[in-house]
Amino acid sequence: MKTIYLDNNATTAVAPEVRDAMLPYLTDLYGNPSSMHTFGGQVADAVEAARENLANLLSASPDEILFTSCGSESDNAAIWTAIQTQPEKRHLITTRVEHPAVLNVIQHWERHGYRVTYLAVDSKGRLDMDEYAQALTDDTALASIMFANNEVGNIYPIQRMSEMAHEKGILFHTDAVQAVGKTPIDLNHLPADMLSLSGHKLHAPKGIGALYIRKGVRFRPFLQGGHQERGRRAGTENVPYVVGMGVAAQLALDHMQEERVQTAMLRDKLETGILERITDSMVNGDIENRLPNTSNISFKNVEGEAILLMLDRLGICASSGSACTSGSLEPSHVLRAMGVPFNYAHGSIRLSLSRYTTEEEVDFVVEQFPQVIETLRAISPFKD
């Protein structure tokens, strides 16, 4: 049975070009990039080439790119340094729909005495800019607002929000893990102080990420030890994965526009086909302003986990939201924050596409979905 993979917001396939670029650094070119000898030096050159590729994707400077192990580490490091470099400030701002990599960290600092403003969202997952403006104070150490939501795909007004923070002299961080490689980001014009990303969301391997730190922003290392990454992160660089992410960044830069158009076309076909064939179904989020690859759909009076299990038997991979919160039988915190009715929120699934998704796969999913929902509604304990 063929696997149809529609869970790309959880992780993506490693691109063949990425794999091929990594292999030499897993075999012959195994030197330590911090070594003085030529053998290690050529490895260091590969790391810097990858840094330049990633900087080009973001319209940043290479020396503003810090390699990390993942998006979660990048988020932790950004919040940590904002707090450590401004001990006199005791207020943080984030949203109720952030990824756990930010939300749980902010809640940790809240337990340690920090005051936190959690921005609410409306029924489409949109933020209230007036609420945000009122939250910005002289005591605010950091505003951390995601670039795009991992569950419903909403793209947030990061340009304006970062400008508003800077008008008050407040640091601004954005978790752009879901956005990098899917939508253009130009840090020459976007005044974010820090931006987090993760390689495995753009066809690089799991276990590599990066944090953009704007020149002039004070930074305290989250990991202490050696002098790697210009003294900003201890630990020998994960060279093969760094190289892989550099190639993935170059592929994203070269093909982003065509992939955005193609992926959005397939996403819309998938979504429309499902909604037309299944009653009491609805799309969650801001359909006018979202990632091109993401669709979150709710089905009344069914369980999302049961949908996923039946899809899995057909070889279709999807999810009920963030992979980092799977295992919970409760509706996601994102859908709860949006006020999605329980009998819909409980039956929500996320379908997320990639450059490798085909029209034939979309057609198969649309064909199979009605029977899945019909079967589950017939045995559902939920009734009107």
User: Does 70 participate in catalysis according to the annotation?
Assistant: no
SS (H, E, C) 140-198: EEEEECCCECCCCCEECCHHHHHHHHHHCCCEEEEECCCCCCCCCCCCCCCCCCEEEEE
Instruction: Identify the active-site residue in 39, 324, 328, 374.
Output: 324
Nearest CA among 208, 350, 252 for reference residue 293: 350
β-strands 194-198, 171-175 pairing: parallel
Residues in the chain: 384
Residues 223, 102: Cα–Cα separation, whole Å: 18
Residues 359, 350: Cα–Cα separation, whole Å: 18
Cβ–Cβ under 8 Å, residues 319 and 350: yes
Residues 190, 159: Cα–Cα separation, whole Å: 5
Positions annotated as catalytic residues are: 324
